[in-house]
Amino acid sequence: MNKTNENISDLRLASLLPDTLLGNVLRPISPLLDKILGIDKLHQLYVKGDLWGLEKQEFSERLLNQLGVQIVGGAGVISKIPKEGRCIVVCNHPYGMVEGVIIAKILTAYRADTKIMANLGLRVFKEIEDYFIFANPLKPKAPINTSAIKQCFKHVDNEGLLVVFPAGRVSFFQPEKQRITDAEWNRIAIQIAVRKKAPILPVFISGTNSKLFHKMGQIYYRFRLLMLAREMVKLQQHQINLVANNLIKPEQLNAFSGIKSMNEFVRLQCYLNDETYLTPWVEDDEVTEFKDIIPMSDQGLMTKELAELPEEQQLVKFKSFTVYYGYQHQIPTCVQEITRLREITFRELNEGSGEACDTDHFDATYMHLFIFDHQNEEIIGAYRIGQTDLLQKDADVSKLYLSQMFNFKPEFINQNQPCLEMGRSFIVAEHQNSFHGLLLLWKGIGAYVCKNPKYRTLYGTVSLSKLYDPRSVALIDEVVVTKREGVEAKAPFKGSLHPEAQDFLRENTVNLEQLSALVEGIEADGKDIPVLLKQYYKLGANFHCTGIDINFNHTPGLLLSVDLPNAPDKLLKLYLGKDREAYLSYIPVTIQDAGFSGN
């Protein structure tokens, strides 16, 4: 234990009062104020714990032990921070003092080059002054703030780890929001991150100060500062959770235009870490016992079936790959292989049925559009497509798979136009990152509609795997779903979002790139929104509602429709090719024997 008389804290109000008229007036009654403000109890804790003159890390450890504060999640925060190199950590400010000590202790133990931009109030502890770069948030134009900002820029420029509490002051009750939350965040952390190209990690710190603290703050805001010591000593046996998701990289920040928008994005990512608003996925009543996958279908039989298909059912050729469509009665071996590959692929996404293959009675009535690799004699991806004019009779939607997930009202169903219901799409794992996988499927769809131009509208769902965090699905639902009339999910998705997220989405129009940045910030593995969602979004899809597919491992799915002739011309050229003009100039013939379309 190393002690020095140079770093001993004088925990009395008298020692903190400035040599001014007000200071001289308060000094005689300062012992009484020490009792009222809890400073005397903080002094007792300081003496009892033998904290005087300790080295900063030991001081912090003992102080937190004396307070009885239990810290949960510190290792999770550290795991997100690079061991070296410039990095910025931003945190909310729920208590005013103790969180600065906690963050300083944890991060300094991991990286000795940690500096925390902190309120002057923490100068009360001389032993830990070395942790901090002090600023005065109550006086923005104070000279100390200019110096602090310069020090922060220099520290990051020197490849250091910088911690900032951007609110500058403790969280407080805000009547307009009807909740306790941070004030508007200062933009200094974002300005440094952008200028120095530093990654930034938002950390959420749980909890809040007492009701009395917030009541007094409503009477006069400076009472909050006076009560900080009192609040600190009241933290006996209090658990404080630290939660961080992903390090935000400069390219994610760049999805937002301007420092203000970037700052709001990072603040939102901080509050999205608040697990109070996390509604976990409902566990299945019974644990699924996965059956062994059926053997691979006979490759020779598959090749024979494809050779016997009419030439018109061969849609696209690229190198060794060919896109075909067919029906189960034409290609039973190929369809069996498709069901096998679907189950394998869907299990990887926590969407598998658990059966030996993924099949149901719809396979017999739906068209199967798929990619066959002749070189390896294998199927690499497929879509299951329902032709509504063939499936619906007398306005009956029960023959459509989507009717299992959604209740369609009469105004949502157009009985005069045939459409295509798109579903059960997959690309095998080996080709999911390839250029040709999804592109070939969509070129196949384009070739099919050009041969059958009566199909103008595509319907389907985008599965949002339960491997996604429920908060990501809730964000996707809030951002992309814009049209709910005429249809409702039989089992609606019921996700919740933090009030800060609700405010953000109400005040900002979020585009797909920004939605990606939000989701990547939440997901533990940093995954983006589904590729298929992006595909439909670029086609100009309307997203109608989000439901839970109880027949598909309770997977959430977005119901959507695409008016194909009105899709962006760039994509129509890509998918429809030379037949685009003929498709666009086709005049649909009104029919009366049932169809399925959205208005």
User: What's the distance, Cα to Cα, between the start and end of the chain in Å?
Assistant: 76
Does the pLDDT value for residue 326 go beyond 90?
yes
Which residues have a Cβ under 8 Å from the Cβ of 407 and sit 6 or more positions away? 487, 488, 489, 490
Provide the CA 587 distance to its chain's centre, in angstroms: 43
Phi and psi of 537, rounded to 5°?
A: -60, -45
Q: Which CATH architecture has domain 299-585?
A: 3-Layer(aba) Sandwich (3.40)
pLDDT of residue 272: 95
pLDDT of residue 596: 40
Which DSSP symbol is given to 409?
Answer: P
pLDDT of residue 217: 77
Residues of the chain with CATH 3.40.50: 71-221+239-244
Question: Under a CB-based contact definition with an 8 Å cutoff, are residues 116 and 133 in contact?
Answer: yes
| Other CB atoms within 10 Å distance of the CB of residue 184 | 12
Does the pLDDT value for residue 237 go beyond 80?
no
CA distance 208 to 99: 11
Question: Under a CB-based contact definition with an 8 Å cutoff, are residues 198 and 152 in contact?
Answer: no
Mean pLDDT of the chain: 88
124-138 mean pLDDT: 86
Which DSSP symbol is given to 200?
Answer: E
Written as six digits, the tokens of 217 are 């703050």
CA distance 517 to 534: 13
Does the pLDDT value for residue 594 go beyond 50?
no
CA distance 383 to 366: 10
286-292 mean pLDDT: 73
pLDDT digits (tens, 9 = 90+) for 103-128: 999 999 999 999 999 887 777 788 88
CA distance 462 to 537: 11
pLDDT digits (tens, 9 = 90+) for 341-368: 999 999 998 887 889 999 999 999 999 9
Which DSSP symbol is given to 102?
Answer: H
Helix axes 39-48, 56-67, angle to 10 degrees: 110
50-56 mean pLDDT: 86
CA distance 492 to 474: 12
Higher pLDDT, 306 or 211: 306
CA distance 542 to 468: 22
| CA distances (Å), origin 94, targets 72, 98, 337, 532 | 16, 9, 56, 40
Written as six digits, the tokens of 149 are 């900002």
As a CATH number, domain 71-221+239-244 is: 3.40.50
Closest CA to 532 of 502, 512, 551, 508: 512
Does the pLDDT value for residue 446 go beyond 70?
yes
> With the C-alpha atoms ordered 254, 257, 262, 265, is the resulting torsion angle positive or negative?
negative
- Name the region of 20 (left: φ>0; alpha: ψ -120 to 50; beta: rest): beta
Does the pLDDT value for residue 434 go beyond 90?
no
> What type of residue is 467?
L
pLDDT digits (tens, 9 = 90+) for 400-424: 899 999 998 766 755 568 899 999 9
pLDDT of residue 285: 47
Residue 2 pLDDT class (50, 70, 90 cuts): low
Question: Under a CB-based contact definition with an 8 Å cutoff, are residues 372 and 382 in contact?
Answer: no
Which residues have a Cβ under 8 Å from the Cβ of 566 and sit 6 or more positions away? 540
CA distance 276 to 243: 11
503-523 mean pLDDT: 95
Residue 398 pLDDT class (50, 70, 90 cuts): confident
Indicate the SS3 state at residue 311.
helix
231-242 mean pLDDT: 84
pLDDT of residue 148: 94
pLDDT digits (tens, 9 = 90+) for 533-542: 999 999 999 9
Q: What are 87's strand-pairing partners?
A: 161
Indicate the SS3 state at residue 109.
helix
How would you class 193 by CB atoms within 10 Å of its CB: exposed for 0-12, middle for 13-18, buried for 19 or more? buried
Out of 216-220, 445-449, 471-475, 546-550, pick the least confident: 216-220
Phi and psi of 134, rounded to 5°?
A: -85, 145
Does the pLDDT value for residue 32 go beyond 80?
no
pLDDT of residue 208: 92
CA distance 561 to 540: 9
Does the pLDDT value for residue 592 go beyond 50?
no
pLDDT of residue 598: 38
Does the pLDDT value for residue 317 go beyond 50?
yes
473-500 mean pLDDT: 90
Written as six digits, the tokens of 76 are 């999770």
| CA distances (Å), origin 439, targets 338, 363, 540 | 18, 23, 17
Does the pLDDT value for residue 288 go beyond 80?
no
Phi and psi of 361, rounded to 5°?
A: -70, -15
CA distance 524 to 457: 36
77-87 mean pLDDT: 97
Written as six digits, the tokens of 350 are 């926590």
| CA distances (Å), origin 230, targets 167, 168, 212, 223 | 21, 19, 11, 11
Percent of the chain with pLDDT over 70: 90
Residues of the chain with CATH 3.40.630.30: 299-585
pLDDT of residue 597: 40
Residue 593 pLDDT class (50, 70, 90 cuts): very low
Higher pLDDT, 587 or 17: 587
170-197 mean pLDDT: 94
Does the pLDDT value for residue 33 go beyond 70?
no
> What type of residue is 99?
E
Which residues have a Cβ under 8 Å from the Cβ of 14 and sit 6 or more positions away? 27, 30, 31
Out of 25-29, 50-54, 58-62, 97-101, pick the least confident: 25-29
| CA distances (Å), origin 43, targets 34, 49, 50, 52 | 9, 10, 11, 10
Percent of the chain with pLDDT over 90: 65
Vertex 568: Cα angle to 563 and 570 (nearest 5): 140
Does the pLDDT value for residue 440 go beyond 80?
yes
